[in-house]
Amino acid sequence: MKHKKIEHSKPLVELLHGEAIEEGISRRTALKMMGVGGAATLVGSSPFLQADEAPTAKSEKNAKILIVGGGAGGIMALARLHSALPNADITIIAPNETHLYQPGQVFMAAGLYTLDDIAKENREFIPEDVNWIKDEVASFDPDNNKVTTRAGVEVPYDYMVVATGIVYHYDWIKGLSEEDIGKNSISSVYLNNLEKGTAKGGEVTLHWFNALKEAAASGKKPTVLYTSPNTPIKCGGAPQKILYLSADHLKKNDLGANYIYATDSAKLFHIPEIEKSLLEVQNKYDTITNHFRHNLIAIDTKNKVATFEETYEVKGEYDEDLEEYDISEEKRMVDISYDFIHIVPPMGPPQALVDSQLGWQKGTAKGWLEVDQETLQHRRYPNVFGMGDVCGIPLGKTGGSTRHHGPIAVGNLISALEGKPLMEKFDGYTVCPLKTEYGEIIMAEFNYKGLAPTVPFLDPAKPRFLWWAFDLYQLKPMYWYLMLRGWF
Ligand SMILES: Cc1cc2nc3c(=O)[nH]c(=O)nc-3n(C[C@H](O)[C@H](O)[C@H](O)COP(=O)(O)OP(=O)(O)OC[C@H]3O[C@@H](n4cnc5c(N)ncnc54)[C@H](O)[C@@H]3O)c2cc1C
């Protein structure tokens, strides 16, 4: 069965700033209209803006291809596989009728986007000749090359791409449930329901910003607490984005607060240049106190007290041979009172994966998809590949990384199908647009080796309006019209 060209459900597709393009617009034209063609030429082999990266690997072979997950990774994989494998039988298992551009939740909190800006029908991205099962995988059976859906349907495959993303665990914090978000001065920009297409986190955080401003205007400086957990999280920069945007929201109104950033990490950022720059950013605002190695474990929402497990070092005996002191780690409980709190939930892989043979079976990555950190091929099941946040690899839980996974996972899948060696390698590319104020972003781009700026002659640690404008105005249309179409 030859595939048809993707039919978009709307005759005209709105692009940036009200410009419209006819259905069937070429990728080159779309890039030109978004002004990235030039930028792409500028950055040469750099990952983030690489324009001429459409999938070149193709195969005429017939195979049953299964994609699990209909978010960023699943849809990007689908677009690329659909155009590269004209004779394949492609099935996608994705429960979500609506597709959310999740990075936009931060701009919703900032009052610059609404839900309409970040939501589209998934049907726009799923070609008619693809078998779309609107359900979730309840169990994976990689030994028999099949999955079973919640409805009990067994779906066999020759090759599978797993792109099930991440699951929030608000309830791992004692005393907290998802229902508390948006009440009692508690916010969490992350909150969304991908199956239902809601982004409550963006909405409630906007209200929270305004309530905070009102409280600060009433005379007494509020204490505002921001947390970041001890699990891997998607978009690791989001906890600090909310800290700086909310502080700037007050600053612009000549108001201040006692800000407390309590994170399980030992630093603001793992790359020294970015860390230094963030410390300078913090000096611009009213007092920000950092509490490192603090993991939120419980909350008393009524009395507004958050309990953290703090990990700290204890100096022991002096070792004459090593000529240094023994250092051991200990833990203690710390209570912090707050007036307002922004919570980033602990996160983990979907349960179906944890329960399967596909996750790492032990170690710190237990339950996350056990793929090779370069080829994105499963380490024990070579007909399985990973895309996006679910991958149990050291870096890459961002939409930008997921975009990079696309040509790599799909290219290697096609090589495997063709019986050829896997040539594509993921370098760990991760991008973190750290919003340091309204109008400025540090575009932190890094990979397994360290900093990896797209535009090498711009200091990557410097907050810039350029990156703010790029993130606010260009990334979203690039996501909808290029990335999800597999063009970029
Ligand atoms: C507040 C916020 C801010 C962010 N900011 C940025 C940013 O600035 N830059 C950036 O690059 N990234 C950012 N991200 C991260 C980015 O959105 C994710 O990294 C990206 O969406 C990952 O794609 P994914 O396909 O792995 O997961 P998702 O896009 O989350 O999609 C996973 C899909 O799998 C489905 N699914 C789950 N379990 C199953 C199952 N068992 N069977 C079938 N389907 C299943 C889900 O319903 C979902 O549709 C942000 C995210 C949030 C929430």
* Pocket perturbation via mutation, ligand 1, pick of 153, 234, 343, 426 by most ligand atoms within 8 A of CB: 234
Of 162, 225, 235, 278, catalytic = 235
Q: Is 300 exposed, middle or buried (0-12, 13-18, 19+ CB in 10 A)?
A: middle
DSSP letters, 457-469, are TS-TTS-BHHHHH
The answer to whether residues 144 and 129 touch, using CB atoms and an 8 Å cutoff, is: no
Extents of the domains making up the chain: 12-166+349-430+469-483, 170-347
450-451 and 167-168 as β-strands: parallel, antiparallel, unpaired? unpaired
CA distances from 382 to 142, 158, 358, 366, 388 (A): 10, 10, 11, 19, 18
Query: What is the rounded CA–CA span in Å between residue 76 and residue 401?
Result: 12
Q: Using CA atoms, how far apart are residues 13 and 11, in angstroms rounded to an integer?
A: 7
167 CB-contact burial (10 Å; exposed 0-12 / middle 13-18 / buried 19+): middle
**Which residues are registered as beta bridge partners of 88?**
none
Cβ atoms of 392 and 365 closer than 8 Å: yes
User: What DSSP string runs through 285-332?
Assistant: SS-EEEETTEEEEEEETTTTEEEEEEEEEEEEEEETTTTEEEEEEEEE
Task: Tell me whether domains 12-166+349-430+469-483 and 170-347 share a fold.
Answer: yes
What's the CATH number for 12-166+349-430+469-483? 3.50.50.60
Q: Candidates 3.40.50.1240, 3.40.50.11930, 3.30.230.70, 3.50.50.100; correct CATH number of 170-347?
A: 3.50.50.100
164 C-alpha vs ligand 1 centroid, how far in Å?
Answer: 8
Buried b (16+ CB within 10 A) or exposed e, 387-415: bbbbbbbebbbbbbbbbbbbbbbbbbbbb
432 flagged as catalytic: yes
- Cα–chain-centroid distance for residue 18? 27
CA–CA dist 157, 142 (Å, integer): 9
For 186-195, the pLDDT digits (tens) are 999 999 999 9
Q: Where are the beta strands (DSSP E) in 366-408?
A: 384-386
Kindly report the protein residue whose alpha carbon is nearest to atom 17 of ligand 1: 102
Backbone angles phi, psi at 358, to 5 degrees: -80, -25
Q: Can you give the C-alpha Rg of the chain in angstroms?
A: 23
Q: Ligand 1 mean position to 232 CA, how many Å?
A: 13
- Ligand 1 binding pocket, CB closer than 6 Å: 68-74, 93-96, 102-103, 105-106, 136-137, 163-165, 189-190, 194-195, 234-235, 238, 350, 352, 388-390, 397-400, 402, 431, 433
pLDDT tens for the chain, 488 residues: list them. 455 444 433 332 333 333 333 334 444 444 444 444 333 322 223 333 343 444 458 999 999 999 999 999 999 999 999 999 999 999 999 999 999 999 999 999 999 999 999 999 999 999 999 999 999 999 999 999 999 999 999 999 999 999 999 999 999 999 999 999 999 999 999 999 999 999 999 999 999 999 999 999 998 899 999 999 999 999 999 999 999 999 999 999 999 999 999 999 999 999 999 999 999 999 999 899 999 999 999 999 999 999 999 999 999 999 998 899 999 999 999 999 999 999 999 999 999 999 999 999 999 999 999 999 999 999 999 999 999 999 999 998 999 999 999 999 999 999 999 999 999 999 999 999 999 999 999 999 999 999 999 999 999 999 999 999 999 999 999 999 999 999 88
